[in-house]
A and B are shown apart, each in its own frame.
Chain A
């Protein structure tokens, strides 16, 4: 079963470490100082939001029947073998028509700085152990990269129950 970035809502402090790590991992320098020195303005693909007193990061859910794939007029958005939904690395090029932006219910597909292509979580940030940068960076363990098996499914539901009672 493919792994997913799972969110343990009760642990997020809103520190935005995941945002920074995501942006840096997707910069061409690959590290913060290099990116800054190169004058790069790397963009994050994970976003920390707040509902009431409650914070949580949100990134691509890599949907089963992903609406962004249906909507992509260029045929660039596709699902890879490991379940990753991405508009890069396929046969076709993103043309920045924003159809995917229009249909993503989570609002996590954004434009790049130049407005020439859509950016989203592509899991190209995984380190040698296969852990995505946002998960690696999270100091409280609010982000977990794991298979959604029954065990963790139950745990997430439990976490969600508690989370929702706080909202």
Chain B
């Protein structure tokens, strides 16, 4: 069988590995990527900008990965058209690839606000290695930057620019506080304090009106809607991403909040599968259709898609689509599931300097935030994911004493597995 994969990031790499692990080496695998290099970690691009990592160290897999797994990598060439009727893929350079099963893992692209000057060369997004390289090259030549967006990518970018040596970095946030989709006020304040200490400024409740250019067309500053003007030599826009669903849509495939796939990662087109940031998933907690835009999900979906492509039916369970971990200076943050619910318990533990917030829907832990120290976070995540009654554990969870909770979970798991007559040494 001939497998063609469009895209070479988390979902693509996971799919390749799984195709080989479960399907052996008798199938042909071709990976088409519009980027020039092998797979790398997008989440570590800020570290590259900060000078803490190198391009070598953020590679996702070793250089011999493709050779060892006997994968043909067509790098630096975009796929422009899918012809599901003929089972062919057309590349930018005119080449055509025949496939038996196609996997679309085209990822997502940053959203740019429709304001004047946004196309200026000094206005960046931070999504690709190319973005990071261009940004790094400009950093030594400017003294200040404006970051638009108070989400995870924006804050990581701001922190990285500061570490890279910029004299001042200002973050423009539309919301009244930062990380509004991940954190509550208390936790956000802890992150804010850490970033303020690092020398980053924040402007809240503000929107960008224009990116202003000087006589030579170079960026000189960022104008806000309230009339303020912030001088800046470069700007980074981090206002979220949009799924790259165009290829499938043009070919007649169904698209909602991303490419629509069934429980086996199949698109509405025959023999075409999709996974990662380009697809729509159903949130496990809310039941809402949302874009899947998380590294972890991309990786696991790549695995599921590959198994299904091999004909090993493996239904993909509805994922948690809010699942984030980040660290800013001395504050680690994990935020999973719903931010609000029927019952909210929160507590700051001054000893470990850790804030914990639990959201319950009835007996079920529907979400949580840990800020400060995040040891044991996975135990909370497992409770959110499984929906196992957790209210009885609320005291331990609030105090971060999750050991007994996880042991209890394991024993329960064992009990369940006893009926299925297998051992407890496998998770997920």
Q: Interface on A for B, CB 8 Å cutoff?
A: 4, 6, 9, 47, 49-51, 56, 58, 61-67, 69-71, 73-75, 91-93, 95-111, 115, 148, 153, 156-157, 160-161, 163-164, 167
Residue of A50, A69, A75, A164 touching B415 (CB-CB under 8 A): A164
- Contact yes or no, B299 A70, CB < 8 A: yes
- Contact yes or no, B323 A106, CB < 8 A: no
Query: Nearest chain-B residue to A109 (Cβ)?
Result: B378
Query: Nearest chain-A residue to B65 (Cβ)?
Result: A91
Query: Nearest chain-A residue to B294 (Cβ)?
Result: A71
B228 in the interface (beta carbon within 8 A): no
- Contact yes or no, B60 A92, CB < 8 A: yes
Residues of B within 8 A of A63 (CB): 426-428
Query: Nearest chain-B residue to A48 (Cβ)?
Result: B403
Q: How many chain B residues have a CB neighbour from A under 8 Å?
A: 57
- Contact yes or no, B14 A70, CB < 8 A: yes
B366 in the interface (beta carbon within 8 A): no
Give me 26 A-to-B residue pairs in the complex whose CB atoms sit less than 8 angstroms apart, sorted by A's number.
A50-B404, A51-B407, A56-B407, A61-B425, A63-B427, A67-B296, A70-B296, A71-B295, A73-B41, A73-B42, A74-B41, A75-B59, A91-B62, A95-B44, A95-B47, A98-B334, A102-B336, A102-B378, A105-B378, A107-B376, A107-B377, A107-B379, A107-B405, A109-B378, A111-B375, A157-B423
Which residues between 162 and 209 of chain B lie within 8 Å of chain A, taking CB atoms?
none
CA distance A100 to B332 in the complex (A): 13
Residue of A65, A75, A107, A167 touching B61 (CB-CB under 8 A): A75
- Contact yes or no, B403 A47, CB < 8 A: yes
Q: Interface on B for A, CB 8 Å cutoff?
A: 14, 41-44, 47, 53, 57-62, 295-296, 299-300, 303, 323-327, 330, 332, 334, 336, 373-379, 381-382, 402-411, 414-415, 418, 421-428
Residues of A within 8 A of B42 (CB): 73
Q: A93-B57, A157-B418 are in contact. Are A98 and B428 (CB under 8 A)?
A: no
Min CB gap A39→B, angstroms? 23
CA distance A102 to B380 in the complex (A): 8
- Contact yes or no, A4 B425, CB < 8 A: yes
- Contact yes or no, B409 A70, CB < 8 A: no
Residues of B within 8 A of A70 (CB): 14, 296, 299-300, 303
Query: Nearest chain-A residue to B62 (Cβ)?
Result: A91
Residues of B within 8 A of A103 (CB): 296, 323, 378, 381
Query: Nearest chain-A residue to B428 (Cβ)?
Result: A65
CA distance A113 to B427 in the complex (A): 27
- Contact yes or no, B407 A156, CB < 8 A: no
- Contact yes or no, B379 A49, CB < 8 A: no
